[in-house]
Structure 1
Amino acid sequence: MKNILFVADPLDHFKIYKDTTFSMMREAQRRGYRIAACLPQDIQWKSGGVVTATVQQITLTGDAKDWYRIDITEAKALKDFDAVLMRKDPPFDAEYIYATHLLEQAEREGAHVVNKPRALRDHPEKLAIMEFPQFVTPTLVTRSAQAVRDFHAEHGDIILKPLDGMGGMGIFRVKQDALNLGSIVETLNKDGAETIMVQRFVPEISQGDKRILIIAGEPAPFVLARIPQGTEVRGNLAAGGKGVAQPLTPRNREIAETVGRALAPRGLLLIGLDVIGDSVTEINVTSPTCFQEITEQTGFDVPAMFIDALEATLRQQGR
C-alpha cells in the first residue's frame, strides 16, 4: 500500500464540500493509498538525522460531519512516504519559506515533494506573472507611492493588491477620480515598507475571473469562471463570487499551454492560472483550488486527472 502525506492546514478547518485537498485525499484513498496529514509546524530536522514530521494517519469515513478518523499519530521520516503534497494555504511568509527549506532537505534524502519546494519559493503567485508579459495587463511592482500615482495618471482605472494576499484579500480598485488613492497606497505598502502590485483594470472581470487548472503541463478541459456579484469588483469565491464552470476556450488553452510548458518542468505539477479576459492575473502554485466545483458542474473528474499525473511522476522515479 502506498503512503501519501498532505502538509496542509488543520483538518478541522476543512470545508469538505468544496476543499480541493480533501478531494485529492478522497481520490487517493479510493485508489488504495494510505493517507497521512500534518501541519507545517509538525516538520522538524535534527542535526545528524533526517527530516521528520509528527503525522496523523487517517481514514476518510464518508461522513459529511465527522469526515476523518485518526488511526495513529506517529513521527515518521518524510522520505518514507511515496509522495508528500505541500498544500498549505498562503500567506507566503517567512514560515512558509522555512517549511520549503525543510521539504527541500527531505527531497535530498529521497522524498518526492509536490509542488517542488524550490519551485514554490521561486514562483510567488502574483510576481510569477511577470515572466509572461505577453499575457499580462500593464502591471507595476513597487514600494513607491509616487510610482503608483504616475501609473494611475497613465492608466486611469487601476487595481492595487498586496503580494501576499489570497482569496481577494486586500484588493482595491481606484477609478479616474483617484478617490482615496493615497490612503489605499499607505494602507497596502505601509508607508513604503512593503511591495505592492498595481495593474490596469481589466473590464472583462464582469464575465468572470477564470481559474484554469494546469496539471503536468496540460490544462483541464473546463475552467471555473468566478463572477463578481452585486457591486463587488472581486470574483474570488472567498469574496462572494459565483463559480460557473465553462469549457476551456482556444485562447485559454493557448495561454495555459504556454505557461504550462514553461513551468511544469520546474517541478510545478499543479498550477492554478487566473485569467481575466486575455490577461493572466495570478499563477497559483501553493494550494490551487476549484477541483470540486469543476467536477460537480461538468462531470470531468479533476481529482482523478491530478492523481493520474502524480502516479505518472512516481512511476518515472521507480516508486
Structure 2
Amino acid sequence: MNILFVADPLESFKIYKDTTFVMMREAQRRGHTISACEPRHMQWQRGGVVTAQVRDIHLTGDKTDWFSTSQPLFADSPRPLKDFGAVIMRKDPPFDSEFFYATHLLGQAEREGARVFNKPAALRDHPEKLAIMEFPQFIGPTIVTRSADDVRRFHAEHKDIILKPLDGMGGTGIFRVKEDGLNLGGIIETLNRFGAQSVMVQKFLPEIAAGDKRVLVIGGKPVPYCLARIPQGGEVRGNLAAGGKGVAQPLSARDREIAETLGPILAARGLLLAGIDVIGDSITEINVTSPTCFQEIFDQTGCDVAALFIDALEAALTTHPA
C-alpha cells in the first residue's frame, strides 16, 4: 500500500522525537511505500479531482540524511489523492485558515474515494480546546467567553485561574492569575482583543505539579501508557515545547475511565488518533490535528505506539474499504 503523509516540510523533522517519522518508519517496515507532501502542494482544478505534488521517499535509517528520494523537490506531475491507499493528515497546528481550507480539499478527495485519517470533517468539528466542553463530567470549572466581565466574575468565584486563547498551541498564550488578580485586566485585553476574540478560562488545577498527561487513544482504544509533561522551574505549563519534562507512566484508573468513555465516541466520528490531555482527574484538551508523544512513550516503556497506530490504520482500511 502507498501511504501519503500530508505534513510539515520533511527537512524540518526532528526525527529523534517526531511522531510522524515513526509512523512512516513502522509503515515502511511492514512493506508499505511512503509518499509525502505539504498542504500547499494540494490543488483542485475545475472539472478535475484533488491532486498533490508529492515525493516518494525511502527511510534510510541514517540519523542525518534520514530519507532519500529520486525526485526533484515536488517537481513531479500532480497525483490524485484517491489513488493512495491511505492519506494521513499530520500537519502541525496552528489550525489557521490554510489548515481549514486543507481539510476542505481533503474532504473533496474523500468524496472521490480517498481514505483520509483523521477524517477532515472531524478535524473541523473538534477544535482542540472547545471539544472538552462536550464532556462536563470530566472537566473542571471552565468558561468560554469574549466578555471581560464574565472573566472577572469567574476569577472572583474561583480565585486562581488559567486563561488561554482557543487557537494556541504548545502552551503559547497561557496565563495564570492568582487571587490577587495582578494584571488580570491587561491579560484579558491581550487575549480577548477588547471583546473581539473568545477566551477559555479555567480554574487552576494544582495537580499540574505532577504533570499534564497526554493520554493517547488509537482506534477508540487507550494506549496503556501516557506521557506526563511536568513543568520545570517556575513554569505553570507542562508542554514539552515550553520546557516541560516528559515522564511516561501507566494510565491511572481515572485516565482509563476517561479514555474508554471518549475513545469509542471519537473513533465513530472518524478520529483514528486523538491525544487527551489530563491534569489530575480533569480533561483540559482533546488533540486531534497531529497528536504526538509516540517516541517518548516507546523510549521509556518499550510500548510501540507506532505499531499500534499502523495496526489500527490497517484494520480501518480492511473493515471499511473504500
The answer for the alignment partner of 1:125 in structure 2 is 128
The answer for the alignment partner of 2:40 in structure 1 is 41
The answer for the alignment partner of 2:20 in structure 1 is 21
How many residue pairs get aligned? The number is 318
The answer for the alignment partner of 1:221 in structure 2 is 224
Deviation at 1:189, TM superposition (A): 1.2
- 2:14 match: secondary structure: coil
The answer for the alignment partner of 1:11 in structure 2 is 10
> Aligned partners of 1:67, 1:165: CA distance in 2, in Å?
30
The answer for the alignment partner of 1:68 in structure 2 is 67
> Aligned partners of 1:285, 1:199: CA distance in 2, in Å?
21
Among 159, 164, 168, the alignment partner of 2:162 is 159
> Aligned partners of 1:193, 1:35: CA distance in 2, in Å?
43
Deviation at 1:71, TM superposition (A): 2.6
* Structure 1 ranges of 4+ moved more than 4 A: none
The aligned amino acid for 2:43 is Q
> Aligned partners of 1:8, 1:185: CA distance in 2, in Å?
34
The answer for the alignment partner of 2:296 in structure 1 is 293
Query: What stretches of structure 2 of length at least 5 have no aligned partner?
Result: none
> Is the CA contact 1:59–1:71 (under 8 Å) kept in the aligned structure 2?
no
2:115 is the alignment partner of 1:112: yes
> Aligned partners of 2:221, 2:197: CA distance in 1, in Å?
35
The answer for the alignment partner of 1:85 in structure 2 is 88
> Aligned partners of 2:205, 2:297: CA distance in 1, in Å?
24
The answer for the alignment partner of 2:312 in structure 1 is 309
> Aligned partners of 1:162, 1:227: CA distance in 2, in Å?
21
The aligned amino acid for 2:49 is V
Among 260, 281, 284, the alignment partner of 1:281 is 284
Deviations 1:174-206 (A, max 9, x none): 000011111111111111111110000000000
The aligned amino acid for 2:39 is P
Deviation at 1:61, TM superposition (A): 1.0
Give runs of aligned pairs for residues 129-278 of structure 1, distance below 5 A: 129-278=132-281
The aligned amino acid for 1:40 is P
The aligned amino acid for 2:270 is G
> Aligned partners of 1:161, 1:244: CA distance in 2, in Å?
24
- 1:71 match: secondary structure: coil
Deviation at 1:250, TM superposition (A): 1.4
CA RMSD of aligned residues (A): 0.8
> Aligned partners of 2:147, 2:49: CA distance in 1, in Å?
44
What TM-score comes out, normalization by structure 2 length? 0.97
> Aligned partners of 2:68, 2:192: CA distance in 1, in Å?
44
> Aligned partners of 1:172, 1:23: CA distance in 2, in Å?
33
Deviation at 1:317, TM superposition (A): 3.1
The aligned amino acid for 1:206 is A
- 2:53 match: secondary structure: strand
The answer for the alignment partner of 2:104 in structure 1 is 101
> Aligned partners of 1:151, 1:250: CA distance in 2, in Å?
30
> Aligned partners of 1:23, 1:48: CA distance in 2, in Å?
37
The answer for the alignment partner of 2:51 in structure 1 is 52
Deviation at 1:318, TM superposition (A): 3.6
Deviations 1:94-146 (A, max 9, x none): 11111101000000000000000000000000000000000011111111111
Q: Matched residues, percent identical?
A: 72
Deviation at 1:208, TM superposition (A): 0.4
> Aligned partners of 2:55, 2:182: CA distance in 1, in Å?
51
> Aligned partners of 2:179, 2:96: CA distance in 1, in Å?
33
Query: What stretches of structure 1 of length at least 5 have no aligned partner?
Result: none
The aligned amino acid for 1:208 is G
- 2:69 match: secondary structure: strand
Deviation at 1:268, TM superposition (A): 0.3
The aligned amino acid for 2:110 is E
What TM-score comes out, normalization by structure 1 length? 0.98
Deviations 1:142-193 (A, max 9, x none): 1111111111011110000011111111111000001111111111111111
Deviations 1:266-311 (A, max 9, x none): 0000000000000000000000000000011000100000000000
The aligned amino acid for 1:57 is D
> Aligned partners of 2:188, 2:163: CA distance in 1, in Å?
8
